[in-house]
Structure 1
Amino acid sequence: MRLAFMGSPDFAVPALRALHGAGHEIAAVYCQPPRPAGRGQKEQPCPVHRAALELGLPVRTPARLRKDEAEHAAFAALGLEAAVVAAYGLILPRTMLEAPRRGCLNIHASLLPRWRGAAPIQAAILAGDAESGITIMQMEEGLDTGPMLLKGTVPIGPRTTTPELHDALSAMGARLALEALDRSPPTLPQSAEGATYAPKLSKADAPLDWTLSAAALDRRVRALNPWPGTVFTLAGETIRVLAAEPTEGAGPPGTVLNEAALIACGEGALRLLRLQRPGRGPLPARDFLRGFPLPPGAVLG
């Protein structure tokens, strides 16, 4: 089948590889343009771009699409049966959505209509959902509102992290995308009832609010690492929390309760398990505390 693939981050790479490996003709791979990264701020291609080059596939990296009529025409001229989209990062205008004969299929990392939007994996963990999944959706102009073709579920355990859930959903998305193309299943309209929205995350989401319950803060640590991370401040230094666990304990929120990095929360306490200072490597709490103690009675910001 003659396809275009549209995606940018690591999440989308397994789907691209699966489509290529299954023998589909990928006429073009669309992804975000290279951007400065690293200490030297040299322009780096995104993961999908790198994978496409490795597979010998043609790559297009338009910076915008909505009003680029030349790009619309170039896409239509590809003569596609379908386009498969996974975390591309640009909104497709109607002319592009309607160009492939079977339209554009989106690999969305949630059980729609729950968690439409930019950060569905993190949102599911933050909310304490018991499961997440993949929805293969026929794209339309609304934000993740199109009719659904296939779904698959993945359980979220009490210690599940975003990287773990990301990888499970990424692999499932690749399998379901192949199945949707092979089977052409009937579509099921989404209901607006029960729809939720997962907004884009930013660095403003990183500071821990110790007035929340220990259970909620544990979910934040598991959901927001590796990015934007979860942090607190003490003695003018911002410390990153990479792992933690909720437990019993009581005191004014943010107060260090003992020498083993137990922190009082709005309800219960959070035991810090893995920490990192700026410019240093991550350490287990016991090793971190040898060089940067959290004295009992101190209040974390």
Structure 2
Amino acid sequence: MRLAFMGSPDFAVPALRALHGAGHEIAAVYCQPPRPAGRGQRETPCPVHRAALELGLPVRTPARLKRDAAEHAAFAALGLDAAVVAAYGLILPKAMLDAPRRGCLNIHASLLPRWRGAAPIHAAILAGDAESGVTIMRMEEGLDTGPMLLKEATPIGPDTTVQELHDRLAAIGARLILRALAEDPPAIPQPEQGVTYAPKLTKEDGRLDWTQDAAALERRVRALNPWPGTFFTHGGEQIRVLAAHPESGSGAPGTVLDDAGLIACGSGALRLARLQRPGRAPQPADAFLRGYALPRGSVLG
């Protein structure tokens, strides 16, 4: 089948490799343009871009699509059977959605209609969902509103991290898109009930609000590391929290309850397990606290 692949981050790479390995003709790979990264701020291609070059596939990196008639025409001229989209990062205009013979198929990392939007993997852990999954959807102009072709669920355990769930869903998506292309299953409209949205995350979403209950804060730590990262402020520094566990305990929210990193929350307490100062390496809490004091009774921001 003649395809275009449209994706940018690590999540999309297994699907690109699976499609190439299955023998599909990938006429073009679309991804976000290279951007400055690292200490030297060197222009760096995204993971899909790097994978496409490794596979010898042609890459296009338009900065925008909405009003670019020349890009629309170039896309239509590819003569595609379908386009596969996975976390691309740009909204496809109607002219491009309608160009492939079988439309544009999206690998979405949630069980639609739950968690439409930009950050469905993080949102599922934050909300304490018992499961997540992948939906293969035929795209339309609305935000993740198109009819569904295939779904597969996977459990979210009490210790599941966003990286673990991300990798599992990426593998499921790669497997499901091959099935969707081979089987051409009937499209099922999404139900109108149960719609939720997962907005794009910002750095400030990682700030730990100690008035929340300890279980919610522990989920936030699992959901938002490595990015945007969870943190509190103390002594003028932002201290990253990379792992934590809820425990019993009480006190004014944000109060340090003992000498081993137990912090009072709105309900219960959070035991800090792995921490990192700016510019330093991550450390287990016991090692961190030997070199950085969180005195009992102090209050964290």
Q: Does TM-score exceed 0.5, indicating one fold? A: yes
**1:266 alignment partner in structure 2:** 266
TM-score, normalised to structure 1's length? Answer: 1.00
1:254-274 deviations in Å (ceiling 9; x for gaps): 000001100000000000000
Instruction: Give me the whole-angstrom Cα distance separating, in 2, the residues matched to 1:60 and 1:157.
Output: 39
Residues in 2 aligned to 1:207 and 1:92: alpha-carbon distance in whole angstroms: 33
Q: Counterparts of 1:100 and 1:50 in 2: how far apart (Å)?
A: 25
1:79 counterpart = 2:82: no
1:1-301 → structure 2 map (5 Å cutoff): 1-301=1-301
AA of the residue aligned to 1:296: R
C-alpha deviation, 1:237, in angstroms: 1.1
Amino acid paired to 1:255: T
CA deviation map 1:186-231 (0-9, x unaligned): 0100122110000000011111000000000001000011111100
CA distance in 2, matches of 1:235, 1:63: 41
**Alignment length (residue pairs):** 301
Aligned partners of 1:44, 1:74: CA distance in 2, in Å?
25
Q: CA–CA distance in 2 between the matches of 1:238 and 1:78?
A: 49
TM-score by length of 2: 1.00
- Quote the offset at 1:284 in angstroms: 0.3
- After superposition, give the CA deviation of every residue in 1:58-115 in whole Å (9 maximum; x if it has no partner): 0000000010000000000000000000000000000100100000000000000000
Q: Whole-Å Cα distance in 2 between the matches of residues 232 and 204 of structure 1?
A: 11
Query: In 1, Cα distance between the equivalents of 2:12 and 2:240?
Result: 28
User: Alignment identity in percent?
Assistant: 80
| Structure 1 gap segments, 5+ residues each | none
Displaced runs of 4+ in structure 1, greater than 4 A?
A: none
**What is the alpha-carbon distance in structure 2 between the residues aligned to residue 76 and residue 34 of structure 1?**
24
